[in-house]
Amino acid sequence: MTSVPVRWGIIGCGDVTEVKSGPAFQLATGSQLVAVMRRDAEKARDYAERHSVPRWYSTVEGLLSDQEIDAIYIATPPGSRVEIAEQVAKSGKPCYLEKPMARNFTESQLIAQVFESNSVPLFVAYYRRCYPRFVRLKALLASGQFGRISSVQYRLERPAASSTGWRQDVSTSGGGLFVDLGSHVLDLLDFLLGPLKMTEGVAARAPDAHPSSPEDVVAISFAFGSPTQGIGTGLWNFNSAESCDVLEITTSKAKIFVPDFMNGRVVSVRGPDGSKLEEWEEIPPNTVQLPMIQTITNAIAEKNPALCPSTATSGLRTASYIDQALNGFYGGRADAFWKRVDTWTSNQHGVQR
């Protein structure tokens, strides 16, 4: 590892950068956060002062012209990313892009292509790929210790939220909370099981919701493995009377339970009789993106993108899963669907096969 640090600049220092990501650029070995940018100059200055960042800017152009910045983290909402990503790619600076990559697969592919055409590395913020809990689970599944995986079931339920800001604005986010939170789950399933083969997606919203409201219930079915090894289902309900977040993996010899899947600590393996075969606990860091940012810093310093497990290639697969799940609800997602609200749910059940 080179002793010269990777010097980072952040574009979009909003809420996600306060704890989840921003401090990680100062905590990672071989990394420094030297500048931040936000269009609201006062908020940019305030962030820089509170986080002891040397410089701040109110324009993307100002930040990218800073010769002391080696790499960029884009943390703006998805709707603004295509234009910003193109500017970053043409600057030649490696990029860490918040997830999901953009509002749909089409925009995500545009971003990936501009980085590829400029020969600039692009990494995507599906940071749970670096959690020790999931790295260990992936190795366990790959080992075949508990036999062949036959089925996977995932379920997330949450009470309806009164307000979730831009994440419920389709023109900004590309969908509802499923796009924001479900993308993490779909990416983790891709990481744990390999590429998914989506077979059906169904989405709906509350009957009394405003016509421009996004989906609030989504169900999918999928297959995985090559040749097809198993099948799975997923359910996201953001209009529920209870809360849960659980993954169950059934194999020929055991059942693996991951309670509080996205933010928990425990993985439990039970035998056919319910006996505990294995269980472990891994506590994620408070600054949750630190393990991922460390791999990206290493990848940039060593000029070896393979050191990071979340790339444009894997991010594009996840973007395609989102579109396949929601295609029926939005009457297609390959175009600027956020501009044609009157065509949403033209298929009564929002089904896509």
**pLDDT reported for residue 215:** 95
**pLDDT reported for residue 322:** 97
CATH topology of domain 129-283+317-352: Dihydrodipicolinate Reductase; domain 2 (3.30.360)
Res 184 pLDDT > 80: yes
Mean pLDDT calculated for residue range 225-250? 94
Res 92 pLDDT > 70: yes
Res 227 pLDDT > 90: no
Average pLDDT of the chain? 94
Confidence grade of residue 353 (pLDDT, cut at 50, 70, 90): very low
What is the tens place of the pLDDT at every residue in 143-152? 999 999 999 9
Q: Residues of the chain with pLDDT > 90: what percent?
A: 90
Q: Where are the domains of the chain?
A: 6-127+288-310, 129-283+317-352
What is the tens place of the pLDDT at every residue in 36-84? 999 999 999 999 999 999 999 999 999 999 999 999 999 999 999 999 9
Q: Note whether 262 and 128 are within 8 A (CB).
A: yes
What contacts 147, CB < 8 A, 6 or more positions away?
A: 251, 252, 253, 254
**pLDDT reported for residue 87:** 98
Mean pLDDT calculated for residue range 229-255? 96
Res 161 pLDDT > 90: no
What is the tens place of the pLDDT at every residue in 257-312? 999 999 999 999 999 999 999 999 999 888 999 999 999 999 999 999 999 999 99
Radius of gyration of the chain (CA): 20
Q: Note whether 293 and 24 are within 8 A (CB).
A: yes
Q: How far is CA 346 from the centre of its chain?
A: 28
Q: Does domain 6-127+288-310 have CATH number 3.40.50.720?
A: yes
